[in-house]
Structure 1
């Protein structure tokens, strides 16, 4: 049967290998990046090279995971909304049974709420196995909303999606509570490697991180973010692995830390909103299947383990590109000179080469 769509040709290359360890996986792997920004490949490659030279590579710690969907109900008045909110909190076990009746792989793990006037915003949080979980969360929330409307007096339907989730928007709530996988990556780079590979010092990177990522973002009014370009690596990785690319909006939230430790560089990227999955829509494409298999995410494991593996590899990829860019920006002219050289060269390379 002929496919109803074609696949857009975005140039993709594998870079690395990078070394990653931590509470999810210990591995060395190349990573795929699909992007039109061709200097991203060697930049991430430089960070990957450094990960291979550091004793433990990039240590990636998965600290939380949850997919969210918020619903809106209208109450007679604020007091009714308040009573309904605490009724929902008290019936969490009952609500978990409602979710289990709809899906083998979706689990309700938390409920939060906000009241504005007579409106009640309810944010459901789910575990969704190896799926990113957008549709699973919506299906479960639809069932929960119907159950609440039938069993709690004084409330009526508002919307199945209330923007308190928050999906594909940069918001404080996602930065605080997380949406998707929350991963912290850390790398300790020896002084000699900083000098020989990055052509800079730990002190200069740490100073630039404070002035650019922290103060610059503060002045710009950034929301729960202090990083240089998380979105670049995430988009390339998401496109190569069949993810919903629009989730780089909340995915780009996160914090970069850099410290001079007696000449060695401690470098860390915290990403609270990594939304990735290894099953679901987009994963049936042949190139995506091949990429996930090469990343080791097509192996039979406990439910959720392949998605966790993919998330920490994505987070490690982000650190590689973030470190390389910040190092380049400590040296006058390096960033633009490199972009001009690499983009002129890659303009001669055809898609598929």
Structure 2
């Protein structure tokens, strides 16, 4: 404790800065000193922030200036039956959220899917992207650079793949806007979400473009990737995993579970998710996919900012002759089971609940399974909320659960 007290005094005097503590102290002492200093400076009580099981040394790749940890309640829904190409079985799905009634709502949708015999899930397309932007003299030069890129894709692939044995170059698409040339690279990164991998690979490829053409690199990310921002290109071309899940629920089961008819629930989807979203100019034509994606991301160590792309989804419902067909298609779900926050202890434990902690065999199969499971959980959430709206039970459900 004396060491921590000394560190706090040196912070207070200005001899040390917050980010310098790990240079002279072990991570736990550095974290404790930083927390004590912040308590003094702000007159805050950080007792609960300082109560955590994470090893500060293990957290170093994930955080700077650590003072503790935030705890978010984690629930579980399931068992969720998934008939996927990578996920095949029943899964208990961890969800971390502070929104009351969310897990209960998803669980109702899970019950409907389970009673209907399960959901089918398929990955339609995959590949994480990075899009550097270059400057050129004029549109003539821009066209020449774009042509060179198309003609030398194999050489660009070799340069990119040389940066990491676990990355596979998929393709590159040039886009020209006046004297700007954007190159949207797409890669397979196995079980990793892979943003760091593709950034490094794209930098090497961009330098090769500079060496071989008149183009000059302006920025390694030109926002045509597009990462952590609403973007139509992700809705159309996909990013990460484009994954869909669907289910058919007989009319009797629909009415028993949701207290509404298939026709009424489908009508809510059409007017709310399709017409309403179109009128709003939304990039997501769904009820609340972000809720399930966000809760899964927090529980399972994913990059929470990429909920933006993960909620870029379309929910489709159709009342058929003897039941309700429901599907959800997530255009750009970016997930992984290695790297990033997946190595943190609680997140790793949550992934182990799904049997997906670490790398898969074959490589990439765990990340693919995770995408299929999250898509199916999102489908469950959509069914439940649309059913609650159709039966006019949304507000009463929150009142009953005291939320």
Which TM class, normalised by the smaller chain length? over 0.9
Shift of 1:7: 2.7
Give the aligned partner of residue 112 of structure 1: 173
Gaps of at least 5 residues in structure 1 are 345-353
Q: Which moved more, 1:16-25 or 1:236-245?
A: 16-25
TM-score, normalised by the number of residues in structure 1: 0.94
Deviations 1:80-112 (A, max 9, x none): 111001101111111111112111111111111
Give the aligned partner of residue 210 of structure 1: 270
**Cα distance between partner residues in 2 of 1:126 and 1:194:** 41
Deviations 1:122-170 (A, max 9, x none): 1111111101111111111111111110111x22121111000000111
Q: In 1, are the aligned partners of 2:191 and 2:363 still within 8 Å (CA)?
A: yes
**Cα distance between partner residues in 1 of 2:174 and 2:154:** 17
From 63, 74, 81, the counterpart of 2:142: 81
Say if 2:81 is the partner of 1:19: yes
TM-score, normalised by the number of residues in structure 2: 0.82
**Size of the alignment, in residue pairs?**
340
Inter-CA distance 300–112: structure 2 relative to 1 (3 Å threshold):
closer
Q: Please state whether the residue corresponding to 1:68 is helix, strand or coil.
A: strand
Shift of 1:40: 0.5
**Cα distance between partner residues in 2 of 1:43 and 1:147:** 51
Q: CA RMSD in A?
A: 1.2
Q: Which moved more, 1:102-111 or 1:317-326?
A: 102-111
Give the aligned partner of residue 242 of structure 1: 301
Give the aligned partner of residue 297 of structure 1: 356
Say if 2:241 is the partner of 1:181: yes
Q: In 2, are the aligned partners of 1:24 and 1:62 still within 8 Å (CA)?
A: no
| Segments ≥4 residues shifted beyond 3 Å | none
Q: Please state whether the residue corresponding to 2:208 is helix, strand or coil.
A: helix
Shift of 1:121: 1.0
Q: Which moved more, 1:237-246 or 1:16-25?
A: 16-25
Higher relative contact order (CA 8 A, sep 6+): 1
Say if 2:342 is the partner of 1:283: yes
**Cα distance between partner residues in 2 of 1:134 and 1:155:** 24
**Cα distance between partner residues in 1 of 2:177 and 2:161:** 30
Q: Which protein has the bigger helix share?
A: 2
**Cα distance between partner residues in 2 of 1:300 and 1:139:** 23
Gaps of at least 5 residues in structure 2 are 1-26, 29-55, 61-65
Say if 2:287 is the partner of 1:228: yes
- Residue pairs, 1:190-209, within 5 angstroms: 190-209=250-269
Say if 2:386 is the partner of 1:319: no
Shift of 1:76: 1.3
Shift of 1:263: 3.3
